Homo-oligomer: A and B are copies of this chain.
């Protein structure tokens, strides 16, 4: 894994100000896909054609209206899809992760040998499997990616040209990817202002099961638990700032998180089990009124979180290179 420093990232941004492409085809022009299109145009000045592919006209019409894409194609229109994919430099799949496999199967028959396909899913082992199954020998054309840039809002109206500035993007290259393909995808994300990191799909799924997928499940579970209480209304009426922050992620898309939980099932179950053990230990300490154990654990957490919060500054001073 490589952590480019922010200074390095800025240097790359200068280099890639001239980042260009002839044709970018985005499957799913919402927050993530729309923000990429806007960033490439409005930040790096790329002038290539951006084609949006959607399941319904409604889903792509708004992107057309906003000028985020140049043309719109319906997913089930064979001829339009073939035309859209012909000569494309890049394909980005930016849809709930359960759609990665069917979309790759849909793309496969029309995939140009020169096209690099990447995705923006929150889980990567499943994307790798999907690519190998759908693309076979051409899986080398697929470079798995994950921009870490969620927002509470979704849809193309929420897309921003600076969504990725100073955000992390993780690439999980396949052994068969050419270095050039990986570099091209990295350059695309660097052009949006993001920092680009690499790790294996396995490692990625473990890390994000822990720091992202598990917290989402825990947050949804708290709201579910309160809903089941006979005095739920009273409880909600006194929920305050702590509850608000803790459950902000429970406002996330149910469809997206359903897919993530299932796609990253193995790693997530490992994290849930480890978490349940820690919680059981805390429960024991509370039951035993073991103030010393509780205070020590809470102090460890507070300190770790405080170090983490200062991490931005520490990273910026780091001068490791890509």
Contacts and interface: CB of A to CB of B under 8 A. Distances in A.
Interface of A: 1, 3, 98, 148, 150, 167-168, 170, 197, 203, 206-208, 210-212, 214-229, 231, 234-252, 254-255, 257-259, 261-262, 265, 268-269, 271-276, 278-280, 282-283, 286-287, 289, 291, 294-302, 304-306, 308-309, 311, 315
Given A262-B286, A295-B254, A246 B227 contact: no
Interface centre among A244, A258, A268, A273 (most CB of B within 10 A): A258
B220 A297 contact: yes
Interface centre among A167, A170, A275 (most CB of B within 10 A): A275
B236 A308 contact: yes
B262 A225 contact: no
Given A211-B239, A224-B282, A259-B291, 19 more contacts: A203-B231, A207-B234, A212-B239, A215-B247, A220-B282, A223-B305, A224-B297, A225-B275, A228-B274, A242-B249, A245-B246, A250-B302, A254-B302, A257-B298, A262-B294, A265-B289, A272-B286, A276-B276, A276-B283
Contacts of A248: 242, 245-246
B1 A258 contact: no
A112 B152 CA distance: 54
A310 to B, nearest CB: 11
A236 B168 CA distance: 13
24 contacts: A150-B241, A168-B238, A206-B231, A207-B231, A207-B234, A210-B226, A211-B226, A212-B239, A218-B218, A219-B301, A221-B275, A221-B282, A224-B297, A228-B278, A229-B274, A245-B249, A247-B305, A250-B298, A250-B301, A254-B295, A254-B302, A262-B289, A272-B286, A276-B283
